[in-house]
A and B are shown apart, each in its own frame.
Chain A
Amino acid sequence: MSTLLIIKIVIILVVFGITLLIAMYSTYLERKVAAVMQDRIGPDRAGPWGLLQPLADAGKMFFKEDFIPKQSEKWLFIFGPGIAMFTACMTGAIIPWGGTVTMFGETFNLQIADIDIGILYIMGFVSIGVYGIMIGGWASNNKYSLYGAVRASSQMISYELAMGLAILAVVMTTGSLSLKDIVEAQKGGQWNVFYQPLAFLLFIVCAFAECNRAPFDMAECETELIGGYHTEYSSMKLGFFLFAEYINMFISSAVISVLFFGGYNFPFMYDLGLSANAITFIGVGVFFAKIIFFIFFFMWVRWTLPRFRYDQLMHLGWKSLIPLAILNLMITGGWQIFKDSF
């Protein structure tokens, strides 16, 4: 038992470290992707190919003046970024990073906790994440921040609905809420995206909205709200908000890969004649490749599309995505009954 405990602690630390590392280098990747898509080079001064840029940015953030406006609610102002960061880090706990490993006489999953309501847990934490933005925006006591916060909360609440309905279709085909079961059900190239393309499309659109990413970055939109909910923030508090966004993006990419692209599964994984441990480790690599692809995809979309107008966003959410999600749910349900009755 005690070895298992140690192993779990190690996994927790590694997952936490990797989450932060990937979020850190997402900022670098974001700038590089933006640059190459605009025919520029991007950061290349700090270290080889500019690889130390995230460290330089973090250093800059730390040494900036940490300013708390006098008319703000001091404690809530400090709480906001804390909540955003905390909820962002918590969601990584139930992602199945890899299959089972047999080592040190123990067999264990590369997952921090396989709770059987995995998806609900993620949805729950994502919706708590809204509070970080809402509290931060409200506590700033500034018109623009408040607008940003209000926009963010209404946007997230509307898109959570469609997101939940899209996930429900996947849950119906798998018959389980546990992420582990969902991944196991997609063994050998039977990825959900082939069976549930509409749900995938709905989910990814909602994921963009949930992460506050362009084209749905209503909460920040530099041009209209001069930064939205984080207008008043500076130094590492601002850093936390921005960093939380990148962690959310990483987790979203992981969830997309798990739900629709088979997680750590890869085609022909059992035809290669490798040992179980080797397959697991290749699987982890494949999983991260998928995640990084989706992170790139997020950025790709950001640097392609202009921002939606707010009414368009609400239109899309309530009048297109939710009806489509319900339709998808009905079709899935009908198919399920049809399949079972034969």
Chain B
Amino acid sequence: MKSLTNRSLQVSNRKMTLMERIYLPAIIGGMFITFKHIFKKKATVKWPDEERSRSEVYRGRHVLKRDEKGAERCTACGLCAVACPAEAITMVSSERKKGEEALYREEKYASVYEINMLRCIFCGLCEEACPKEAIFLTKELMPANYERSNFIYGKDRLVEPTDSRVDVSKRQEPAVVMNKYNDK
């Protein structure tokens, strides 16, 4: 019979030869292999002393972006929460008052925005769903913690600080943006 792929192997139930039944040649061969591995380069990365390099579009912890003037972009539309397969996102929306234009870009904003990082699977669907380019995943890793409650990230830890802006240009290359809006 002709095989479909070139990966199939012919199996046989033939009796082992005497040489194979003694086991010793195979054992010595195997021990030689393991001995060679002692001198091989180690694969261990000693995190956190060393860090392994991550791509620019690594899907790590989230950031809620501000616009160029420093106002929050999120309009609490809830699309990210709907898109989230892990149901990790919750929010409470509020109306922007007079005089808060510098804080919030849209007339409606999220007064509470929480992501449960224990539920999140870092799939990036929230980033894809957001019509306001407000939420992004970043290169940063999620730090470990002793308390479960500390894994619920609120706006205090999600919104990007005005003095240290997070660069997401690598995630927003023209092709990505085009693709996103042609889909809809």
Query: Is this pair of chains taken from one and the same complex?
Result: yes
Distance A37 CA – B44 CA, assembled complex (angstroms)? 13
Residues of A in contact with B (beta carbons under 8 Å apart): 36-41, 300-301, 303-305
Please indicate the chain B residues that have their CB under 8 angstroms from the CB of A303 in the complex.
Answer: 34
B14 at the interface (CB under 8 A from A): no
For the residues of A in contact with B, the DSSP-based class is loop
Please indicate the chain B residues that have their CB under 8 angstroms from the CB of A305 in the complex.
Answer: 27, 30
Distance A41 CA – B43 CA, assembled complex (angstroms)? 8
B97 at the interface (CB under 8 A from A): no
Please indicate the chain B residues that have their CB under 8 angstroms from the CB of A304 in the complex.
Answer: 27, 30-31, 33-34
Take A36-B37, A36-B38 as given contacts and tell me if A41 and B31 are in contact as well, using a CB distance cutoff of 8 Å.
Answer: no
Take A300-B34, A300-B35, A304-B34 as given contacts and tell me if A39 and B42 are in contact as well, using a CB distance cutoff of 8 Å.
Answer: yes
Please indicate the chain B residues that have their CB under 8 angstroms from the CB of A39 in the complex.
Answer: 37, 40-43
For the residues of B in contact with A, the DSSP-based class is helix
20 additional A-B pairs beyond A39-B42, A39-B43, beta carbons within 8 Å, are A36-B37, A36-B38, A36-B42, A37-B35, A37-B38, A38-B37, A39-B37, A40-B42, A40-B43, A41-B42, A41-B44, A300-B31, A300-B34, A301-B31, A304-B27, A304-B30, A304-B31, A304-B33, A304-B34, A305-B30
9 tightest A-B CB contacts, nearest first: A304-B34, A41-B44, A37-B34, A304-B30, A36-B38, A39-B43, A304-B31, A37-B37, A40-B44
Please indicate the chain B residues that have their CB under 8 angstroms from the CB of A37 in the complex.
Answer: 34-35, 37-38
B98 to chain A, nearest CB (A): 57
Q: List 15 A-B contacts (CB under 8 A).
A: A36-B37, A36-B38, A36-B42, A37-B37, A38-B37, A39-B37, A39-B40, A40-B42, A41-B44, A300-B31, A300-B35, A301-B27, A301-B31, A303-B34, A305-B27
